[in-house]
Structure 1
Amino acid sequence: MTSAGRFAPSPSGELHVGNLRTAMLAWLFARSTGRDFLLRVEDLDRARAGAEEVQLRDLEAVGVTWDGAVVRQTDRAGLYDDVIQRLTDAGLTYECFCTRREIQEAPSAPHAPQGAYPGTCRNLSTAELEIRRASRPAAIRLRSETHEWTVADELHGPYTGIVDDFVLRRNDGVTAYNLAVVVDDAEQGVDQVVRGDDLLSSTPRQAYLASLLGLPVPEYAHVPLVLNHDGARLAKRDGAVTLGDLAAVGLSAGEVRDMILESLGLPAGPLDDALDTFDPAGLPRRPWVWNGHQQTTLRKGA
């Protein structure tokens, strides 16, 4: 199977400059290492009508191209169900009936890392299970055999994080992200994962699950986010942050691409040309602060 990198947006709305920057970085990482580049739509949870089409159009507009057909998670439910059944048959899952509030209010288990699921439903008796099942549907959790796991990240180095009894399938029947992403990456031959560093803390859970399933663990590179002037993660409410918004104030997709490349210390121009100078070791390690009004004004005056 060919090795590959990927970009995997959720079709919940238009991509903003932070999403586009991460997509461009994922593309540069993959292409500079001779990998294919895949596009996967993570539509299990949130999908807005028409959002996928706009996202694909905007990615192409900044030079992000992909190999093969676009894959959608909603077409892959059978893969996820098979893996959960495999884990269940091995005694590595259990039903959980806790609400979010109950988890927040429960005392932590002895020696459990802070923020970990406290194991409330881990050892319910048959009678207790029957009572709980009558009151609400169950989520399916992994019966983890460790409290932490270490991954190697190209930009962050070794990173050790919590591995608790995390959810594999929610109580509404939707497959959880931490399972779907592991199954998808392995099935698609993705051996390089480049994404925002807000997802670094969940990566040990995914790597641990991959190891339980005997699947290869990808190479990881968690890249800095784009923040607003208040230091919060960039969002649509921050004004002109999508290609559509920026076009309305006079910026073309090519100009937005060039702004993103310059923020990475790369020369402006077609994305293919940036491959000649792309070096992960030289990437900025701090977030890019987006001041939309100032940056668009400077660009238009350039």
Structure 2
Amino acid sequence: MLGQRVITAVVLLIILAAALAVPSPLPFHVLMALFVSAALWEWWRLTLGRPHGAVDKAGVGPEVIAAVVLGVVLIGWQAATSVAWTAPSTGWLTLWSVLSLIWLLIIVPSLFRADAKAPARNLMLTVFAPFALVAAWGALMAAHARGVTFLLTLLAVVWVADIAAYFTGKALGKRKLAPHISPGKTLEGAMGGIAGVIVFVVICTFFPSTFGAALAARWTLAGAIVIALLLACLSIAGDLFESLLKRRAGYKDSSNLLPGHGGVFDRIDALIPVLPLALLLS
């Protein structure tokens, strides 16, 4: 399993590096469109309560149709319009704002009282999925337009939160964070993840073109620290949110698309709520 996990990670990194190395932004846009399309397929399988391999009478499930349509629309729209992401439109800013408010005011507070034994089928979360994923995709495009360094240091906020939370939880974890959703996560681990993100963002403020430097330039160092704390909390919440969907549906992983890693949704769950707010605030 470890070897399979490493091989998959290396292959994904090579593909990502190749997309980022090309002068044209289109390969990166297409790659990310494929990722969010796969994530939509996985998300809908969870919220439609469909078991592995389930299909409808026509032989194709709605989650497959939705994923294909989303991918075609995103790739076709980007290729046809050649949108300049350096200055996101009012439409994108509005979408990011609305989605960020939904995450902060509705989804995150509800996680700690959510019924993990509730039916998997959920119309509201099914409808919410494409909007959340399109918002994250647009935020990725805008981050990429601000430079590879900005993009990677933004993504690293979530990576640092996950890694720091894991090791802190292993070493110090005692009190459960949300045992009804994810018994392995602890309050100490979450605090370690938050601390790790704050330290990372502060370090980034010393280096131009990074996400941390952009935050400090706009909000001062103190403001950057507060935003780092908020984004770290959202990262943890995104992970818990997917865990809740999987627990209700009886899934261990969102799919087996990425050998050793589970599904695409498993890998980007924390990014989905973080990216729109991060772009709004930077």
Same fold per superposition (TM over 0.5): no
Q: Normalising by structure 2, what TM-score?
A: 0.25
Q: Please identify which structure carries the higher helix content.
A: 2
Which structure has the bigger radius of gyration?
1
Q: Normalising by structure 1, what TM-score?
A: 0.24
